[in-house]
Structures are given as structure tokens and as C-alpha cells.
Amino acid sequence: MTCPLRRRALLAGLLLAPSMRVRAGGEDPAWPGPVKQVAAGVHVLVGSRDAAHPGNGGAVGNLGFIETPAGAVVVNAGGSYRWGRALIALVTRRTGRPPATAIVTQARPEYVMGMAAFADRGIELIAHEATDRLIARRCPECLRRLLRDLGDDAMRGTRLVGPTRALAGDARIAPGGRRIDILHFGAAQTAGDLVVVDVDTGVAFAGAMVTERRVPELEDPGGARPWRAALAALAARPLALLVPGYGEPGAPAALIAATDAYLAQLASDVQSHWDRGADLLTAQREIAGARWREWAQHEALHARNVQREYLAAEARWLSGR
């Protein structure tokens, strides 16, 4: 499924000054975090757990790539045109050829803002069709915030593009014979969350669906319940290693359980407050999430998560569920 050309053209120039529509000049930055080979031909670029700020230059969240005989498959495109271009250069140096495909796990700024660098090289971009819609609806505001927070130089050349291939569900690709599954377990962090699995090694890239020592961020209006269902489905699959969207790769069961524990406690606490008639401000004040206070982004995200889960509880009550 490919977006209409007119819509793609509108997205390409959306909300950008003329100087921002040109190809970025100057030397691209080097990835500031570790670049780890976690299995044969599978590499992870470990980024910051924090929000984008001048100190990390927007190198937030984990990216990765899987080597294949037909060119690497990149997982997530980076948080700006410059990071996208730097990722393409890194993959080209490591593998001897440019990437063949990039898969975007969900509509997070740190994963989608580099997509234009791949589009300019004619590299296939795969995402879920819900992610395509979210890029069009939400990412213009994300781009405004990044321009404000990081500045014109860090975001130079960044523009919004959508995928060249939008999926409605699961898919398998096999570039050069290397089997890669692209799995959609339903709404989780967003409606379009994808998990990328290298079949031969059992390494899975879960994107923001799973976090390591970073507070998960509720965005889908369904709240924690559908996300927890997606995590349960992911946990049922035989995997050797899981790459979370933020933090260190590790044992799948432990990483999934830690994310689920936060969501379970959040849902339970909010439902309890809702059932006894507490208003939203009371719920936000009383549900402190102290157990996760040391996780990255707790101060920025936890109270907002309480609000979104409260609204999800309200929606269930209004619909009779």
C-alpha cells in the first residue's frame, strides 16, 4: 500500500522554511553511543534514554541493522536528517554497501525524523499503515518542538516523509535469503507498533513497545490494556535476545516483564482511583509511581501516563465496558 503522490508531496514540504528543504551540508555527526554486534550480522546503536536535548543532539533511542546479502535492513531511521544520513554512512562502511530497506517500528520522533535521508537515497521504507497516518497527523508538531529544542543546525534538512510500503499486518521479507519477520500485535505504544525479528538468530527489535529502565509512554487512547495484551503475545514467541526501544538489549522475558509491571501497576492504581470517584488531579497527585522513580523520564512522563490511563478508564465506563 503506497500513499498517494499528492499527499507524499505535501508531507515532504510540510511546515519547513525553504532553507530546511535542501539537503543538509557539512559533516554528519558520529553516533555518540555504543554500536554493538549482538548476534551474527545483527547490530544495535544504543542511544540515550532521555528526551532529545542539545547535549545528546537528538540521538535518542535504539537503532539497528541486520546484514543481508542484498544489503542491510535498518531498524528505525533516527531523529533527524543528519542522524539518518549518518546511519546510512555507518551501515555502508560496516557492510560495504548502502542499506536496502529501513523498517520504522512506530511513529516516534527519534525513529521517523531521519526517514527523508533514506528516501533521498531511494531506500525502501516500511512501516505500518497506522504509523503512516500518525506521521501525517502528529509529526509536524514534533518537528516544531525539535526545531525549538535542538535548533536549526541539528535539524537541518529534516522533513517529513511517509513509508514507501505501508503494512496492514504481519509480513516477512527475505533479502538475499535472510528471513526477517515484521510483526504487528495490535495497538501497544501506538496503533502501528511493529516488532522486527531476525528469524535465524532470534533477535527481536521491539521499538518503544518495550523499554529498559525508561518509563513507557502511553499514547494510544486504549491505554495500558491493549499494550499489555501485545506484550503477552510477544512474550509467547521463542526469542533469543530483545532490543528495547530505549536502554540495553537483554533477555526477552525480563525486559517484557519489567515494562508490563509498570503498565499493570499504572492500570490498577488508576482504575482503583476511578472506582472510588477520585478526580484526575487527585489521581495524578496520589499515583506517584515511586517504584519507578529512578527510571529515565519518570518526571516527564509518569503524571501524563496517569492522565491518559484515567481517560482510557473513563472511555471504558462511558462505553459500558
| Domain assignment present for 126 | yes
Buried b (16+ CB within 10 A) or exposed e, 88-122: bebbeeebeebbbbbbbbbbbbbbbbbbbbbbbee
What averages of pLDDT result for each successive group of 10 residues across the chain (321 residues)? 39 35 54 95 97 94 98 98 97 97 98 98 98 96 95 94 97 98 97 98 98 97 96 98 98 98 98 96 96 97 97 91 66
Residue whose grid cell is 499527499: 7
**CATH number for the domain including 180?**
3.60.15.10
| Domain assignment present for 73 | yes
pLDDT at residue 141 in the model: 95
| Domain assignment present for 36 | yes
pLDDT at residue 16 in the model: 35
pLDDT at residue 320 in the model: 80
**Nearest by Cα to 214 from 104, 294, 288:** 294
Cα gap 306→281, rounded to integer Å: 10
Contacts of 177 (CB under 8 A, 6+ apart): 68, 69
80 in Cβ contact with 114 (< 8 Å): yes
| Domain assignment present for 290 | no
| Domain assignment present for 308 | no
Which domain covers residue 70, as residue numbers?
A: 5-250
| Domain assignment present for 53 | yes
Question: How many domains does one find in the chain?
Answer: 1
What cell numbers appear for 176 in the block? 538475499
Question: What is the per-residue DSSP string for 206-260?
Answer: EEEEEESSB-----STTTHHHHHHHHHHHHTS--SEEEEEES--B-HHHHHHHHH
Across-strand partners of 183? Answer: 195
pLDDT at residue 319 in the model: 87
pLDDT at residue 29 in the model: 83
